[in-house]
Chains A and B, each alone.
Chain A
Amino acid sequence: MPGANAMSVDLATVKRVARLARIAVSDDEVERMVGELNGILGFVEQLGEVDVTGVEPMTSVTPMVMRKRTDDVTDGSKADDIVANAPATDRNFFLVPKVVE
């Protein structure tokens, strides 16, 4: 685990994380979140106490080999269903604001 200061996030970090998470945050919210996130990070800091030498990270909680199938087309031809819940569509396309300049 990182050293003593790593457990705290500051305003800039919260803004950066919000940008990564694509969530708009007001200045008030950023302030509040600094406190709340630091509270949670302070709580999880104790994991640093655990000696994990030689321990593999858990990748599968129930030991299993993933079942596979042949790469065949088994579904589709239901564009109407797929766009049925969309806010804005046109002839089975999803409409969004401009993506590239």
Chain B
Amino acid sequence: MTELTSLTIAEARDKLKAKDIRAVELTQAYVDAIQAANEAINAYVAVTPDKALEMAKASDERLAGGKAGALEGIPLGIKDLFGTRDVHTQACSHILDGFQPKYESTVTQNLWNDGAVMLGKLNMDEFAMGSSNETSYYGPVINPWRAEGSNQQLVPGGSSGGSAAAVAAHLCAGATATDTGGSIRQPAAFTGTVGIKPTYGRCSRWGVVAFASSLDQAGPIARDVRDAAILLKSMASVDAKDTTSVDLPVPDYESSLGQSVKGMKIGIPKEYRVEGMPEEIEKLWQQGVAWLKDAGAEIVDITLPHTKYALPAYYIVAPAEASSNLARYDGVRYGLRVDGKDIVDMYEKTRAAGFGKEVKRRIMIGTYVLSAGYYDAYYLQAQKVRTLIKRDFEQVFDAGVDAILTPATPSSAFGVADEDLAADPVKMYLNDIFTVTVNMAGLPGIAVPAGLDHKGLPLGLQLIGKPFEEETLFKTAHVIEQAAGRFTPKKWW
């Protein structure tokens, strides 16, 4: 039954509707695939086969009765950051040991309301802090892609490494993920999948474990642009429980695929051409330009002068917000507790034992930059630079640019336990150099696979859009996808 897991969401949806296949057999195929593959890939940290089959059975009943929802019977993986009622929700951290919420996140509730099936919770960097899925309490995720002729284990990217790997290895039809500095787009690019971070406020953050509240946004990772559009339609909503969610109608994103990009102005920002960038990535970028030009778009050179300050500003703002958001993990109400002689001792020992190295680093930086005497110099300065970063984009959009094309990552997937990266945290941070600007400005951004590098590893291109113009991103990404083709890893597991 391997064919069932090779169906995209759109294909499965059609077959389910036509009664060619049943939801239960589709879910069982995924449950079997996960059982066979998860030891090698480590994409899932919690699998829920009983619940999945129960949900699939209910989907079959609704399909038979002509009451199918938009995602009826579609088996999905859920990033461990989303609160799922009575199911493991730990943000892949030891400090949330045993936590099973008594509530459901709004985004996942939206998916269940549309009939989707939950296969389980997906691995991720601890508290979404990382670009390689190596900081997880549950160990690293292994990229289903390998370099030509090599056995070396590669990272899938992060923080949504489990989501991206599961989608690429066909261990789910699609996955939810989150993006604070690139955590959807970078792993999508490393695994040959499509990932979109919508505009800040498009999806509700209620019930999603918070990392940096002014930057976090939920979004889908899927096998192609159509599937990503289908998922986002179900995920997005305005929510009274999240006052940063925006009350705008959610369009039928899928219908933007196939629309013409003729006459669209595509901006090419010179500041995204960074020193030391591999030749292949520059070439792929130019290839993307050529494809869009062929489709009738107009290419415009643009400047986003404050681009290089986005990453340092992010590494002040995000840790600062994280230090505040992670203050709640104190061993009192949930998760791990390490006993102490008094309450402060308990807090200190619990947090020391519960948080991993990267999380501690970021809490420490965040605490420092917000502390008396440093707040103005660091945090306030970074927030002012953030205004300038957003202003750069606004000026370019006001001048008539419809979307911006950039590389998604400065390299293809690198090796697990890379010594250089382990020795220098800042080197790891540089993986997000093309993606953080988008979070800092609150804009939507999509990563779409565009080619393979000389090692046979996927590379992606990124499109950045105007606020709430995800339709523009889907139709433009679709043009690139049609030209570039699809990329599936060779099965080694």
Contacts and interface: CB of A to CB of B under 8 A. Distances in A.
B312 interface: yes
A86 B378 CA distance: 36
Contacts of B349: 24
B398 to A, nearest CB: 15
A73 interface: no
A83 B243 CA distance: 26
B432 interface: no
B323 interface: yes
Contacts of A39: 424-426
B291 interface: no
Interface string A78-101: 100111111110000010111100
A22 B200 contact: no
A49 B385 CA distance: 10
B344 interface: yes
Given A17-B371, A81-B102, A85-B99, A22 B381 contact: no
Interface in B217-250: 240, 243-244, 246-247
A50 B388 CA distance: 9
Given A21-B367, A23-B352, A62 B312 contact: no
B368 A64 contact: no
* A interface SS class: loop
Interface string A57-90: 1110110101101000000001001111111100
Nearest to A98: B342
A52 interface: yes
Interface string B144-180: 0000000000000000000000000000000000000
B309 A47 contact: yes
Contacts of B364: 14, 17-18, 21, 23, 33, 37
A18 B410 CA distance: 34
Interface in A1-59: 1-2, 6, 9, 13-14, 17-18, 20-25, 33, 36-37, 39-41, 43-50, 52, 55-59
B400 interface: no
Given A23-B364, A58-B390, A94-B333, A43 B426 contact: yes
A54 to B, nearest CB: 9
B32 to A, nearest CB: 32
Nearest to A22: B347
Interface in B302-360: 306, 308-309, 312-313, 315-316, 323, 327, 330-337, 339-349, 351-352, 355, 360
Contacts of A58: 214, 383-384, 386-387, 390
Given A22-B344, A88-B337, A48 B381 contact: yes
B440 to A, nearest CB: 8
A52 B355 CA distance: 36
A29 to B, nearest CB: 8
A78 B316 CA distance: 38
Nearest to A81: B102
Contacts of A85: 98-102, 333-335
A97 B333 contact: no
Interface of B: 98-103, 199-201, 214-215, 240, 243-244, 246-247, 306, 308-309, 312-313, 315-316, 323, 327, 330-337, 339-349, 351-352, 355, 360-361, 363-365, 367-368, 371, 374, 377-378, 380-388, 390, 424-426, 429, 440-442, 467
Interface of A: 1-2, 6, 9, 13-14, 17-18, 20-25, 33, 36-37, 39-41, 43-50, 52, 55-59, 61-62, 64, 66-67, 69, 78, 81-88, 94, 96-99
Given A86-B334, A97-B340, 10 more contacts: A1-B378, A40-B365, A44-B315, A45-B312, A46-B308, A55-B387, A61-B200, A67-B243, A81-B103, A87-B335
21 contacts: A2-B374, A13-B368, A20-B371, A25-B352, A39-B425, A40-B361, A44-B312, A44-B315, A46-B312, A56-B387, A61-B386, A62-B201, A78-B102, A85-B99, A85-B102, A85-B335, A87-B334, A87-B336, A88-B337, A96-B332, A97-B339
